[in-house]
Structure 1
Amino acid sequence: MIVGRDLHNGWTLSCNDTGRTSLPVSIPATVPGCVHLDLLANRLIPDPYLDINEITNDWIGKTEWVYRLDFEAEPDAGQVQELVFDGIDTIATIRLNGGEIGRTFNMHRTYRFDVSSLLRAGTNELSITFHSAYAYGAEMEKHYGYRPNNYPGPGNLMRKMACNFGWDWGPTLVTAGLWKPVRLESWDRARLAATRVSAALAGGDGLVRVHARLARDGEAGPTKLTAEIGGVTQTVTVEADADEVSFEVRVPSPQLWWPHHLGAQPLYPLEIRLEDERGDILDSYSKQIGFRSLRLDTSPDAHGSAFTFVINDVPIFACGANWIPDDCFPSRVTAKRYAARIEEAKAANINLLRVWGGGIFERDEFYEACDRAGMLVWQDFLFACASCPEEEPLRSEIVAEVRDNVVRLMPHASLVIWNGNNENIWGFDEWGWRPIIKDGVSWGLGYYLDVLPALCTELDPDRPYYPGSPYSGSMEIEPNDDAHGCKHIWDVWNDVGYEVYRNYIPRFCSEFGWQAPPAWATLQESVHDEPLTPESHGVFHHQKATQGNDKLIKGLAGHLPVPQTMDDWHFATQLNQARAIRFAVEHMRSHRDICKGAVVWQFNDCWPVTSWAALDSAGRRKPLWYAMQQAFHPRLLTIQPRGEGLSAVAVNEQTLFWRSKISGKRMRLDGTMLAEFEFWRLLCDRFEAKEFPLPEDIATPGSADEEVIVVQMLDKRAFHYFVEDIDLKLPSPELSISLIRSSGGCDITVTARSFLKDLCLMADRLDPAAVVDSMLVTLMPGESHVFHVTTDKHLTIEDIAVGPVLRCANDLVSSN
């Protein structure tokens, strides 16, 4: 039986820069981890997430570091003994007992070295020298020549997490270290070198395909491979002269795995055993398997060509968000944190997470949590916003990396697509790369159109591959065409206001977004400027987007007044972010017959920053989170322009039809009724968007600046305003508050005495650990809403201050 022993305890770190005399000669180190975390744990650097400390840590990524470990071993002539590194970041030389055993150049691969003849009885010394990624990048630029890159650093010339070098939401923290587990494995005769597992449906049965490649030691003799799943056992013999075998296991009538908004997620334990002729187990493999069918429909139609995920023969609308590395130091992200983040996404009614190509292939725990949660995963290959050489040695590294990760991730039912790159084809086409990349100079297209699809076809043919995001299905069509493929919308935010979202009806929008600062508690924890202002050193440093703060203010134009205080700036920009994304999502979902996906940029953050995220780096929900929860609800009611008028649009992503009375009113903000209608039976079938034209007396205002349309369908309510808030006669907010303590927190009831638009309770201002269940609530005079706040703190009604704890759009407009 293969025996693995983790080598995680007893490591030390040292710096090879003789000029760093202030550092100890030997620093206790943690594995898995990285240099930054070890320096931080030993109080040798300030926390790079705080204030502007990031810039004081630049030297770390430009320095050579050595990790050392003394470990005990016993050589055994009858055993193969291998050092296994699940993740080495990145440019490293590995030595055992003073002799070099290998060099690594790829953060995204697993490395395995046979050390059977090098181990000593007793103490062995393992040392790993991490060379500067910057220095290696300079060498590679001389080797390949210059390639355009939208961001600083040489990330496009090596296989390292690209956003390490800085992004428009992330710091420049160039890491080095053993970021995944390290172990010594011992085995004899044979082991499983690679096990490819896929699951599909064959009629009403489940079909598990297994392809195993064996590593052998000498004359191992015949072996047996046995797979067990769903009460079915299948055994095949692997002859002594063979090192590969393929077979299938048919599981009768399994329960289907569904995305969480459609059904359950039954998972079947798969156990594979490699045995010798006597039945002794030599190696084993286990996974949780879900059975579902999958295809990506890109067929031509009246609107261009589709881009629709079809799960179990159901064309779904992807209510999605982009996922970036959840920490600049990925080893800090635990299985518990993965699960918590994914549950937050599920609670926001997100059904798809896109793992973005400038980060990492996440650890197994991420995909396992998505399998359990019914969260679909779109997986980018790791190319983002840069041209990339196709020559050696990079080409072979990419092939090895893809083989490693496709084989590792393909068993997961949640994984629904491999995507070739993020914005690289678009960049070549529209970002001015063409004049720089001369004829015959490679820039990555060969990967996206040839290398990657060939590898996916070989290894994982049941799962769709798509060359890029955005991409229109052909190099003959501009890559960001509305009518084909997947689209990114970035003129909105960068150049124009969010009202321009309505100019587009994409087939599938895989990126669009709007910025806002993190939660107030997160901002205060990470920045200690006195006073805090949008332009104070720390706040400004935690804004990485080009002219980001200017765009935040520019984006308020026509919607909200320019805020005059820090509190108002914080709330106004957060509110504007929430509204922008809700506006876009409701528009796209209302055109469900054409558009089949809205994937917001972005769900999470890797450090405390003003960004496009819905959940900040501390895991606190921004108002955007609640806007997504509302706009992504499987049953959406929205009011949209149609032709010369307005229509109420009911959108139903549930498995049952939605039939109910629909009613509406045009009212003054003070509650005075001006017109009303009632229709007794609107039927919206499952997976349908149903339009109901509003009567003219509802859709036509008398006084546009003091009226609102309210449409109701069961528990869903939609509002429409004829002018933006800056021109709307919003009254000064009048309300009453009551508080009742309840298990795990308190219920806070707000009763409106005036019209209240987008009422928010900022729970983190009461308690940094508090969570509120709802936000962005609009109330007519006389209506009430109960906010449930989860907190261990004893709150009183005096704590619920109207501004900054209770905020609404009225505050921003009536105070200007």
Structure 2
Amino acid sequence: MTALDGPWTLHGDALDGPVPATVPGCVHTDLLAAGLIDDPFLGENEPKTAWIGRSAWAYQLDFDWSDAGDQRADLVCAGLDTIASVTLNGVTLGDTRNMHRSYRFDAREALREGRNRLEVRFADVYQYTDELREQLGDRPNSYPEPFNFVRKMACNFGWDWGPTLVTAGIWRPIGLETWSVARLAEVRPLVTLRDGIGLVEVHVRAERASSAPLTLTAAVGEHRAEVQLIDSDQGLVRLEVPDPARWWPRGYGEPTLHDLTVTLTDGDRELEVWQRRIGFRDLRLDTTPDESGSAFTLVVNDVPVFVRGVNWIPEDAFITRVDRSRYAARLADACVANVNLIRVWGGGIYESEDFYDLCDELGLLVEQDFLFACAAYPEEQPLWSEVEAEAREQVARLTPHPSLVMWVGNNENVWGWRDWGWQADLGDRTWGSGYYFELLPSIVAELDPTRPYWPASPYSGGPFTGAADRHPNDPAYGSTHIWDVWNTHDYTHYRSYKPRFVAEFGFQAPAAYSTLDRAQALAGPALTAHQKAGGGDGKLQRALDEHFGDVQGFDDWHYLTQVNQARAIQLGVEWFRSLRPHCMGTIVWQLNDCWPVISWSAVDGDGRRKPLWYALSRSYADRLLTFQPDGLVAVNETSSEWPLRLPVRRMSLAGEQLATADVDLVVPARGAVTIPLADSVGEPGPDECLVAGNAWWFSGRDKDLAYPAAAYEATASRVEDDVLVTVIAETFLRDLCLFADRVHPAATVDEQLVTLLPGDSFTFRVSGLPLDAAVDELTAAPVLRCVNDRVG
């Protein structure tokens, strides 16, 4: 295919003339590059760009073409955002209404020898949604925007962590493809394991320009098979691969990939070659009923997997700025934090091949939502046909990826219908149930029966018949979302739940200091503009009041809200892991951000790791020690037994050992053991703690504990390109953090949230600090600090 990547120009009624445009790209980034708008990520600029989403735009390209005699010439559009009309030399090739589909237009008759003009016009998406809403009737929605009336990235219209930046543009590659005889229109490999034999069923649909007999060949290594396509445009090639190396998730084995090559030929002439990497693994979702409800366990290669997951949102509000290197960096953040599953949330996009390829390589499981979130979605035309075409394309596209292990119908829409007052507003109007319980499961069953489908997140299983059904967010069944902790309860409330699988739970904190600084949002209205959650600041303050009492000043607020976020998620994760195997998975909301913001993320919008990320990496460790109300729990997610021998100590905060008990046991592979302790070491008082390995237990909230005033010796020294900061505790120090980015935006640190008894020491490694930076700043507040700086 010949890429049509420029030079494009952008045209609009609001412009004095055309401006250079980048394809793939969008109107916002083109206007930003031309200096015509201020960066909406900075300060209070975001609402100043609202007019862009309510305007019509056109992209124009002049290019040369020479007829080489091919039978067909197609304009291939991998992604148009969203309400578009495509013309070539004044001839309309087609119209589009769906960002989540690709399009192919026959351009042969419209092309000219020599100079050609291609134009893609984008209509005002609000005008489109307003007209459709008027026609179909309004539908309930968690946000005051019409994203449920158009097949476009929902969070483009704003979310409780994202800006309202309604884009338009050619957001994926566009090009001309010329061909003769036939081409591969769709290749859909279904890969399974049976009795140690790898089975590959390659379903192929060809598009023909002639009736010539065709040969279809599929090969994996030395294993080959072929079929003839005579008077047909569809074929199935079956391959068997004896005893293949299996694809395993992270922590369970190697994610081995095999090259699959599919070739279409006309006699001796090769017409097209399609190549992907596949993985052999057996997969099922165990939902067996039991005395407590029903399981929700992902089983890969006959091994039950405890999911240590994170939710994924679009990596940038302007998604065309996300390339393979940025995906790689963020997925590396997940891997180093001991994550084994990424849930691609339903208000974003079906991600690029780069994303799924990287997950395949890294052994990261992917749970993929269909793109519906937090709203009632009309089922009438033209939306039904758009949803069906989109789902068929995306299910077929993603079949080669072994990382993809589950399709989910929507995010929170069944829960919304049940609990959020939708039924009274809807009357007899459709709201999406036909998609989630009929259309989508039938498409998955037809095109990809190798993977499970689950109707919603959350969903408690069973057929859907109406309001009398089991509550969709019943923790005893299926998948659960837990949001009362963030909204109304202290985070210790997580321990009141005994769920089977938690697909969402989260707690907010601000982005890193230097991220907010770059965004010009360190204080006042600009900081408020970067808090999108309704009542979010009040909820942050409630948690500060509950744990720390009166907090004054930005530095204390910034640090302690980040500590609260880290502790909340650490408590939740470790509690749910302690329930293994009753509970078999947690998916934390959320890994990443799409701009600089106060949010639930572990890694902020500039790619900086918040203290939560460090807490998550410990809580998701293969081998975990955690204190819980019933004692010390040891969780072992490795394939070998864990001989555990260590003391459990009750210590005064002055460093005196008050009681001790020795633990000597073997934790089974993929298992958890609870060791009762109350009789042997006793409960700690307000000036005491329990410690076992890297696990700590305190009697209450920080404001009620008798912390000493922090005292320590801190030194910094350069070692090659890094700086080592060693802290020797003279008193007890809780949740010691080093915020290296406050010294220089490029500086990072290897650890955070370190707790030390008197006499203990710890060395932080700081990377990325320029040689001319003052290292002494690393040894004092507000860069280096602990909780008992503020509470004591």
Give TM-score scaled by structure 2 length.
0.98
Q: Following superposition of structure 1 onto structure 2, how do residues 268-417 of structure 1 map, counting pairs within 5 Å?
A: 268-278=258-268, 280-417=269-406
Partner Cα distance (1:307, 1:288) in 2: 29
2:763 corresponds to: 786
* Whole-angstrom distance in 1 between the partners of 2:700 and 2:381: 59
One-letter code of the match for 2:248? Answer: W
**Aligned-partner Cα distance in 2 for 1:699–1:259:** 40
CA distance in 2, matches of 1:738, 1:77: 74
Q: Secondary structure at the match of 2:612?
A: helix
Greater displacement, 328-337 / 556-565 = 556-565
Is 1:298–1:307's contact at 8 Å kept on the other side of the alignment? yes
* 1:806 aligns to 2:784 (yes or no): yes
What corresponds to 2:256 in structure 1?
266
Does 2:67 correspond to 1:94? no
How far 1:247 sits from its partner (Å)? 2.0
SS of 1:215 mapped into structure 2: strand
Corresponding letter in the other structure for 1:543: Q
1:797 Cα deviation after fit:
4.6
Distance 2:227 2:486 in 1: 58
- Select 1:222's aligned residue among 208, 213, 229: 213
The answer to whether the 8 A contact 2:544-2:551 is kept is no
- Which of 700, 706, 713 lines up with 2:687 in the alignment? 706
CA contact (8 A) 1:256 1:266 kept: yes
SS of the aligned residue for 1:426 comes to helix
Shift in Å, 1:75: 3.4
Q: Check the 8 A contact 2:410/2:457 in 1, yes or no.
A: yes
| Aligned counterparts of 1:651 and 1:407: Cα–Cα separation in 2 | 38
Q: Secondary structure at the match of 1:434?
A: helix
Segment drifting more, 536-545 vs 655-664: 655-664
Letter in 2 for 1:710: V
Q: CA deviation at 1:803?
A: 1.4
1:561 alignment counterpart: 549
> In 2, distance between residues paired with 1:255 and 1:746?
43
Deviation at 1:733, TM superposition (A): 1.0
What amino acid maps onto 1:249 in structure 2?
L
How far apart are 1:490 and its partner, in Å?
Answer: 0.7
C-alpha distance in structure 1 between counterparts of 2:40 and 2:717, whole Å? 41
Contact kept, 8 Å, 1:739 with 1:796, in 2: the verdict is: no
Query: How many Å separate the matches in 2 of 1:213 and 1:562?
Result: 66
Residue 754 of structure 1 corresponds to: 731
Trace 1:312-711 onto structure 2 (pairs within 5 A).
312-439=301-428, 441-474=429-462, 475=464, 476-527=469-520, 532-533=522-523, 536-642=524-630, 647-679=631-663, 681-701=664-684, 704-711=685-692
Task: Kindly indicate whether residue 28 of structure 2 is the aligned counterpart of residue 45 of structure 1.
Answer: no
Q: What letter corresponds to residue 805 of structure 1 in structure 2?
A: V
Give me the whole-angstrom Cα distance separating, in 2, the residues matched to 1:14 and 1:741.
53
Once the two structures are superposed, residues 737-761 of structure 1 have per-residue CA deviations (whole angstroms, 9 ceiling, x without a partner) of 2233223312211111100111111
CA RMSD of aligned residues (A): 1.1
Residue 78 (structure 1) shift: 3.8
Conserved? CA contact 2:3–2:174, under 8 Å: yes
Does the alignment pair 1:79 with 2:71?
yes
Q: Cα offset for 1:292?
A: 1.1
CA–CA separation in structure 2 for the residues paired with 1:564 and 1:748: 28
For residues 800 and 217 of structure 1, the distance between their equivalents in structure 2, rounded to whole angstroms, comes to 68
Q: What is residue 62 of structure 1 aligned with on the other side?
A: 54
Q: Which moved more, 1:245-254 or 1:481-490?
A: 245-254
Counterpart of 1:675 in structure 2: which amino acid? Answer: A
TM-score, normalised on structure 1?
Answer: 0.95
Q: Which runs of 5+ in 1 are unaligned?
A: none
Alpha-carbon offset, residue 264 of structure 1: 1.2
Relative to structure 1, the CA distance from residue 335 to residue 304 in structure 2 (aligned partners, 3 Å threshold; closer, same or farther) is same
Contact in 2 for aligned 1:658/1:683 (Cα 8 Å): yes
Work out the CA distance in 1 between the residues paired with 2:323 and 2:564.
Answer: 33
C-alpha contact 1:224 1:236 (8 A) present in aligned 2: yes
Residue by residue over 1:195-249, the C-alpha shift from the partner in whole angstroms, topping out at 9 and shown as x without a partner, is 1012111211211110000100032x1111111213212122111x111011211
Residues 166-193 of structure 1, C-alpha deviations (whole Å, 9 max, x = no match): 1000000000000000010000000011
Mapped to 2, the partners of 1:391 and 1:695 lie a distance apart of 61
Instruction: Report the Cα distance in structure 2 between the residues aligned to 1:796 and 1:125, rounded to whole angstroms.
Output: 57
Please say if residues 214 and 243 of structure 1, whose CA atoms lie closer than 8 Å, have aligned partners that are also in contact.
yes
Compared CA separation, residues 310 and 98, structure 1 to 2 (3 A): same
Equivalent residue letter for 2:582: I
Runs of 4+ with >4 A deviation: none
The letter of the residue matching 2:7 is: G
Q: Distance in 1 between matches of 2:186 and 2:272?
A: 11
**Aligned residue pair count:** 786
* Contact map agreement 1:520 1:764 (CA 8 A) in 2: yes
- Of 378-387 and 667-676, deviating more is 667-676
The SS at the match of 2:563 is helix
Conserved 8 A contact 1:66-1:129: yes
SS at match of 1:557: helix
In 1: Cα distance, 2:680 partner to 2:528 partner: 49
Asked if the contact 2:62–2:115 (Cα under 8 Å) also holds between the matched residues in 1, the reply is yes
8 A Cα contact 2:217 2:237, kept in partner: no
2:134 equivalent to 1:117: no
Amino acid at match of 2:770: K
Aligned-pair CA distance for 1:700: 2.6
Aligned to 1:193: 185
Paired with 1:409 and 1:145, the residues of 2 have a C-alpha distance of: 34
Partner of 1:246: 236
Q: Secondary structure at the match of 1:285?
A: strand
Residues in 1 aligned to 2:32 and 2:60: alpha-carbon distance in whole angstroms: 18
Cα pair 2:502 2:585 within 8 Å, conserved: yes
Between the aligned residues of both structures, percent identity stands at 49
1:198 maps to a residue whose letter is L
Q: Which amino acid aligns with 1:557?
A: D
| Aligned 8 A contact 1:738 1:797 in 2 | no
CA-CA distance at 1:74 after TM superposition:
2.3
Q: Does the CA contact (< 8 Å) of 2:309 and 2:342 recur in 1?
A: yes
CA distance in 2, matches of 1:463, 1:259: 15
Contact map agreement 1:745 1:793 (CA 8 A) in 2: no
Residue 728 of structure 1: CA displacement?
0.5
Q: Distance in 1 between matches of 2:725 and 2:78?
A: 49
CA distance in 1 between counterparts of 2:249 and 2:601 reads 23
- C-alpha deviations, 1:566-623, integer Å up to 9, x for none? 0000001011000000010000000012111110111000000000000001100000
**SS across alignment from 1:747:** strand
> For residues 812 and 513 of structure 1, what CA distance do their matches in structure 2 show?
25
Contact 2:70/2:178 (8 A) holds in 1: no
8 Å CA contact 1:152–1:166 kept in 2: the answer is no
